[in-house]
Structure 1
């Protein structure tokens, strides 16, 4: 089993508990307007690596992880390579390595064969970092190119099976920072029994140069990062912790 890997990072401190080895997989079907990793979109790029290669590299840094650390697999959208991620996590479990999946959950469906594969993956996944990009379906589609019904269903399923989740919400002025939307988001999160943490991630423009390099129009030109006051407001409404403003 080979996976298409975009990049690897040895020391991550903001993508799950403890110090983590980060595996960014190639490929994403979503087209989030604020994406800072547009170079991960193409599904036919990246470096082909085996499960053993990835974990052998990761274990070189195991001494830094402590009790809470491990590996975090992100993207792109890691679930587009669900078979590879499953083998990677199952082998990580055999090696006693903690596993975390950073995902927007966009491929989720209860149809087969995906659902059976997702159930199997959850058997070796310790924690999910789940992006909740927008609570309103039409706004979500405008922001990402896709609806959100299956994402909300995925979060409900994860609650049903008591799989630990951290919710992440990117705060974009004029798009996701409306108080009414934030209150609806908080109300939805309140229906879930498995959410251990909520993080508000302030929008930034650090990846805008990649859009220009790839010749893709960046439609959020002129949108400034949210003020500290708006970030704190969102954190208060969502009951969030985490990333600094």
Structure 2
């Protein structure tokens, strides 16, 4: 949601992490029981959920934001999801009961459930249990991830995943580390593994003036996306170029965090379209 996914340049009618857990049961468990249930995947640390259309995958989707993320993205739209301890305990069976309530909507719109964050792969046992349960309900499943913890995604989990929204936040190690505080290599390995497993991918790239908009940087990200597609043609169904915005600035301030991009403007429509053309030049479908 991933620290990166909520950077969508979207109207206010679209979802924003932080809407809470209204209507969803939380588990009344002590710390030891909570940890035990999280190890088995029966319980997860959840920040919030939203029912949205045209965001986070096809159709109308129940997007669930899990707490905890190993990245520290400079433009993170959901800084309140970074610590797993700050989430609420939610049982997988209770979350799946809500998924079941929306099966009719999902079937009518081609939608389903999207697990986002934070970083969903911080809680792989919970994610795997929810994905398996959703598939048993006949519901389309999506993981929204940076891919940094892709090694946590077992082949069994990927077998239950219809789509991965993969954030490639920069094109080289130096810039990626500047943006996230982490290494790019695990994301690229995960992307190749998804292609090898035949999992469909939507690549996401956040365009930040002065940070990720350098032509060389854009070209490298486009090359990475094309390389994933080359492993198995048809894997990368689309690339979403997401213009940076300032919608998270107040949230960072409320949390007492320093927001380094407070003076960064959004990219122009022309600049954004020019970046999309770079991806199209690699033969990729781009939005």
TM-score, normalised by the number of residues in structure 1? 0.93
Deviation at 1:57, TM superposition (A): 1.7
Superposition map of 1:11-26 within 5 A: 11-26=52-67
Q: CA RMSD in A?
A: 1.3
Is the CA contact (8 Å cut-off) linking 2:203 and 2:236 kept in structure 1?
Answer: yes
Show the counterpart of 1:175: 211
The yes-or-no answer on 1:59 pairing with 2:59 is no
Is the CA contact (8 Å cut-off) linking 2:64 and 2:114 kept in structure 1?
Answer: yes
Q: Is the partner of 1:92 in helix, strand or coil?
A: helix
Deviation at 1:6, TM superposition (A): 0.4
Structure 1 unaligned spans of 5+: none
The yes-or-no answer on 1:78 pairing with 2:114 is no
Distance in 1 between residues matched to 2:118 and 2:247, nearest whole Å: 17
The yes-or-no answer on 1:2 pairing with 2:43 is yes
Is the CA contact (8 Å cut-off) linking 2:99 and 2:134 kept in structure 1?
Answer: no
Instruction: Write 1 or 2 for the structure with the bigger share of helix.
Output: 2
Deviation at 1:52, TM superposition (A): 1.5
Superposition map of 1:67-146 within 5 A: 68-109=110-151, 114=152, 117-146=153-182
Is the CA contact (8 Å cut-off) linking 2:60 and 2:109 kept in structure 1?
Answer: no
Q: What do the CA deviations read for 1:132-177 (whole angstroms, capped 9, x no partner)?
A: 0001101100110101011111111111222110000000001111
Is the CA contact (8 Å cut-off) linking 1:18 and 1:69 kept in structure 2?
Answer: yes
Q: Which runs of 4+ in 1 moved over 6 A?
A: none
Distance in 2 between residues matched to 1:161 and 1:210, nearest whole Å: 38
Aligned residues: 236
Structure 2 unaligned spans of 5+: 1-41, 230-234
Superposition map of 1:145-224 within 5 A: 145-193=181-229, 194-224=235-265
Q: Is the partner of 1:224 in helix, strand or coil?
A: coil
Is the CA contact (8 Å cut-off) linking 1:173 and 1:224 kept in structure 2?
Answer: yes
